[in-house]
Amino acid sequence: MHEKDGLVSRALRPVEQAVRKTERHVYATYARKPDLLVANSPVIKRRVQRFWGVPSDDIRVVYPPVPIREYSRTHADTSERYVTLSRLDGHKRIEGIVRAFNGTDRELVVAGDGSERDRLEQIAEDNIRFAGYVSEQRKRELLAAAKAFVFNAEREDFGIAPVEALASGTPLIGVREGMTQYQIRDGQNGLLYDRGQLADAISRFEADGVTWSERDIEAYAEQYSTEAFIGGMQDAISHAQERSTIDVPVDTPRPAAEVEHDV
């Protein structure tokens, strides 16, 4: 079934690319007209600049709201388990995480479900456990208890699960791509790695850890909170209103006597 799905996906890829190209052309016509555009991450801002030709000053980044108050380092004691939580789809690149943990004695919990699950379970060794879909309560416990959260998605636009991990006081080990590279301060609240080098990053984390405390990591997630989103949107709206203000000159009416004299 997975092989069939892969063939269909590859066959449709040229069609999808053509549709995206058409969308870019159509939207580019209108993208320069608003006074201000709001992007949900620096990654999306760069795409808008590149494909639509919108100047940087015309784009404001406001992170989407994440309910970080629902997560805390206090929900569970930190364990020796690594955790990843995601839809088990191809572009999330969970296979790379599984293979990095294969052949090690480090425990990995894979939470989430999707089309790739059966295949991933077949290649995973005994130190890797698949938890499937988990409740919100169980998710909070897994994230708080994780030694580190591992994220390997391909060019992620934003990534909510990594933020939830940060709000749980848990370090991130993430690929140097997409928004992940902006969420991680290398060596402080996590480690960055180039794609294909995850195993080395895990070894480095085992040896050196990170410099920030769980409390520091938890506090860092404040920038992605609902309150930060509301404040960011209010600032963006105010800025757009200021930019759109137009001073229209108003002619002062002339006295009737002057008008009659001209005639």
Q: Give 187-246 pLDDT, tens digit per residue.
A: 999 999 999 999 999 999 999 999 999 999 999 999 999 999 999 999 999 988 887 776
Q: Do the beta carbons of residue 93 and residue 152 sit within 8 Å?
A: yes
Mean pLDDT for the chain overall: 87
Q: Which amino acid is at 91?
A: H
CA-based torsion, 9, 11, 14, 20: positive or negative: negative
**In terms of pLDDT, which residue wins out, 23 or 2?**
23
User: Is residue 257 domain-resident?
Assistant: no
- Residue 1, pLDDT > 50, answer no
User: Is residue 214 domain-resident?
Assistant: yes
Q: Do the beta carbons of residue 133 and residue 113 sit within 8 Å?
A: yes
Average of per-residue pLDDT across 34-57: 91
End-to-end alpha carbon distance in the chain: 90
Q: State pLDDT tens for residues 201-218.
A: 999 999 999 999 999 999
Same domain, 210 and 230: no
Q: Which domain holds residue 152?
A: 68-222
Same domain, 103 and 139: yes
User: Is residue 15 domain-resident?
Assistant: no
CATH number for the domain spanning 217: value is 3.40.50.2000
Same domain, 79 and 208: yes
Residue-level pLDDT at 144: 97
Same domain, 56 and 143: no
User: Is residue 210 domain-resident?
Assistant: yes
Residue-level pLDDT at 3: 41
In the chain, how many domains are there? 2
- Residue 64, pLDDT > 50, answer yes
Phi-psi region of 76 (alpha: psi -120 to 50; beta: other; left: phi over 0): beta
Give the global pTM: 0.80
Number of H helices, E strands in the chain: 11, 8
From CA 166, how far away is CA 220, in angstroms rounded? 7
Same domain, 49 and 129: no
Q: Which of these, 123, 108, 131, lies nearest to 202 by C-alpha position?
A: 108
- Residue 79, pLDDT > 70, answer yes
Q: State pLDDT tens for residues 101-159.
A: 999 999 999 999 999 999 999 999 999 999 999 999 999 999 999 999 999 999 999 99
User: Is residue 246 domain-resident?
Assistant: no
From CA 9, how far away is CA 250, in angstroms rounded? 61
Q: Do the beta carbons of residue 131 and residue 66 sit within 8 Å?
A: no
Pairing, β 148-151 against β 59-61:
unpaired
Same domain, 86 and 209: yes
Same domain, 76 and 32: no
Same domain, 86 and 193: yes
